[in-house]
Amino acid sequence: MTHRVWGRSQLGRWLFAALLAIAFAPAFAAPVADWNYRVRPNDTIWDLAGHYLKPDIPWQKLQDYNKVADPLHLPPGMTLHIPVAWLRLEPARAKVIAVIGNATATLPGTAQAVPVTQAMSFGYGATLVTQGDTSLTLEFADGSRILVQSNSELALDRLSAYGNTGMVDTRVRLQRGRINSDVIPMSGNAARFSVSTPGTISSVRGTHFRVIADPETDAARTEVTSGKVDVGNDRRHVLVKTGLGVATAGGASPGQPQSLLPTPALSCPTAPINQFPYEFQWQPLDGAQHYRVQVASSAKFEALLMDRVVDDAHAVIPDLSDGIYAIRVRGVGTGQLEGLDATCSAVTIDSHPQPPLIVSPQPDTRVRDTRPQFRWTESQQAASYTWQLASDSAFEHLLAEQPQVTGSDVRPPHSLPLGRYYWRIASRDDTGKVGPYTHALPFDLVSEPPAPVPGEPKHSHGDLVLSWPAGNPDQRYNVQLARQPEFAQPEVDTTLDKPEIDLKNLSSGKWYVRVRTIDTDGYAGPWGSVQKTRIPCMACRWAAAGGGASLLWLIL
């Protein structure tokens, strides 16, 4: 005779596996319970039987169970009791409402993963995987939804609907990553919605909660933002209410529910955002070690355009297309539990087409030509430009304006007296929409210096100077120059501490340039629009200088 001796850890794993098997057993294997239906006018016992019962359950059984004396006449308002085991049980599907990024799905019986696209639907047995910067929302048969965030793996273990009763049995398994669940309040005692991780099961009947699974540490967290969630494993169950969260580490029992951090105090922008980079700020939150910031195209947060964790009470919002967006922020506290969301549900971005980069005059420089030439790069988004010159930084006293400039330079219509001036430029796209202006760019018009005494001729190499609106202190800027607009092999790729670059001795020909901001935490934002410029031949520069004109070294 042989005996097997179970160690504590082996026994715990066996018991938890058994618990999972019981939890995911078919609903009709549970003790019989009733679903109640309120009779409506013109209902008959056989119509209701055909509508709700399994094909092998005759209507007479329903009549006997409810002690209906006259099957031809059911009194309106009567409560008809139907055992759950008799109800028609049908497979349900989960539909992809929105997806951003690279997500794949592996279907039952197949090894090859397929890309996930919007409007796809999946039955039980499918496994969905999201990569970095990817998110998607699944909608289930009863309207409940799950937002699957980046670097997550979610298995659909059970998707069933009890005929036309409205009751569903939805059970998913989060192998790793993060999900956010919005569960419709359930009616009927057979309805169920649960999320399991390698160490816990979270079961609800209508609530909003988040589940995080970390397979490397065997840790899980559940955060309840509305309603109640039963969180348990083979060791212990706890009831987690609104505003509380619970963490489980290393296969241990769920800890004591802890209070989540309250909502941060946001100052939602009231005016449209028209300059990027844009820094979104909020009040520091006591007890917050970090903050999670999310941006979506609507307040439903069906797919995330941005999902970042930052250390301080501010974050740079990416350069998004014009439209209305939602931003939400929550604090991350002790044990990595994340708090309640504060949301700006309607943030307007009206920043396109973006203005071009400035070539000359640069801010706070001296100009000696009384009819200076204003130069900028050519934006790929622009069909023309709007240029303004003023004597004040608020542009309340315009001195000159060109509302539709084509090309990349302009001169004022008349000579200017010496003094301080301000200019700005905006792009207009092919639909006629004018984007935001650059910041006011000051320069000083000063007199010409005395002509130098002619001497031996010396070769002079021109510089290409580009600038753009400054971001926040300590931000840096990544600049690339390439011969092709795809930037496959940039010839200049440098990072700067100030919003300006001075490029010396560039060879002649066409150049493309682009810039992006690097935040204080090292996050590199998206690239700005590609700009184009052209450097003429050296002979052309000397020819212009020999003719007594200003050195024309940039032709756009």
Q: What's the rounded Cα separation, in Å, for the pair 377 and 385? A: 11
Residues 326 and 417 in one domain: no
* DSSP at 31: P
Of 331, 349, 367, the position where a domain reaches its end is: 349
Tell me what percent of the residues of the chain surpass a pLDDT of 90: 60
Q: What is the pLDDT of residues 347-397, one digit of tens each?
A: 999 988 989 999 999 999 988 889 999 999 998 889 999 999 999 999 999
Query: Is 384 domain-assigned?
Result: yes
Residues 313 and 331 in one domain: yes
Are 357 and 468 in contact, with CB atoms under 8 Å apart? yes
Query: Is 368 domain-assigned?
Result: yes
Q: What is the pLDDT of residues 139-160, one digit of tens each?
A: 999 999 999 999 999 999 999 9
Query: Is 457 domain-assigned?
Result: no
Least confident of 243-252, 334-343, 546-555: 546-555
Query: Is 44 domain-assigned?
Result: yes
Residues 318 and 212 in one domain: no
Distances, alpha carbon 270 to alpha carbons 217, 322, 324, 344, in Å: 43, 15, 12, 10
pLDDT at 544: 46
Query: Is 214 domain-assigned?
Result: yes
Q: Where does the pLDDT of residue 62 fall: very low under 50, low under 70, confident under 90, or very high at 90 and above? A: very high
Residues 230 and 305 in one domain: no
Residues 192 and 106 in one domain: yes
Query: Is 341 domain-assigned?
Result: yes
Are 121 and 107 in contact, with CB atoms under 8 Å apart? no
Residues 77 and 139 in one domain: no
Q: What is the pLDDT of residues 231-273, one digit of tens each?
A: 998 888 999 999 999 998 877 888 899 999 999 999 999 999 9
Q: What's the rounded Cα separation, in Å, for the pair 173 and 196? A: 5
Which is more confidently placed, 536 or 435? Answer: 435
Of 349, 373, 392, the position where a domain reaches its end is: 349
Residues 254 and 298 in one domain: no
> Is 16's pLDDT higher than 60?
no
Q: How many other CB atoms are there within 10 angstroms of residue 425's CB atom?
A: 24
Q: How many other CB atoms are there within 10 angstroms of residue 137's CB atom?
A: 24
Q: Return the structure tokens found at 500.
A: 């300006």
Q: Return the structure tokens found at 274.
A: 């028209």
> Is residue 84 helix, strand or coil?
helix
What average pLDDT does this structure show over 507-523? 82
Residues 194 and 241 in one domain: yes
Domain of residue 417: give its range.
358-445
The CATH number assigned to the domain holding 45 equals 3.10.350.10
Number of domains in the chain: 5
The CATH number assigned to the domain holding 218 equals 2.60.120.1440
Residues 250 and 180 in one domain: yes
Which residues lie below 8 Å from residue 219, measured CB to CB, with a gap of 6+? Answer: 199, 213, 247, 248, 249, 250
Residues 245 and 383 in one domain: no
pLDDT at 449: 54
Tell me what percent of the residues of the chain surpass a pLDDT of 70: 87
Residues 94 and 163 in one domain: yes
The mean pLDDT value of the chain amounts to 85
pLDDT at 521: 65
Of 290, 321, 349, the position where a domain reaches its end is: 349
Which residues lie below 8 Å from residue 417, measured CB to CB, with a gap of 6+? Answer: 370, 445
The CATH number assigned to the domain holding 331 equals 2.60.40.10
Q: Where does the pLDDT of residue 7 fall: very low under 50, low under 70, confident under 90, or very high at 90 and above? A: very low
pLDDT at 400: 96
pLDDT at 276: 81
Q: What is the pLDDT of residues 449-462, one digit of tens each?
A: 544 333 333 334 55
Query: Is 425 domain-assigned?
Result: yes
Which residues lie below 8 Å from residue 307, measured CB to CB, with a gap of 6+? Answer: 133, 135, 149, 150, 292, 293, 294, 295
Query: Of 94, 101, 86, which is closest to residue 146 (Cα–Cα)?
Result: 94
Query: Is 450 domain-assigned?
Result: no
Residues 116 and 54 in one domain: no
> Is 227's pLDDT higher than 80?
yes
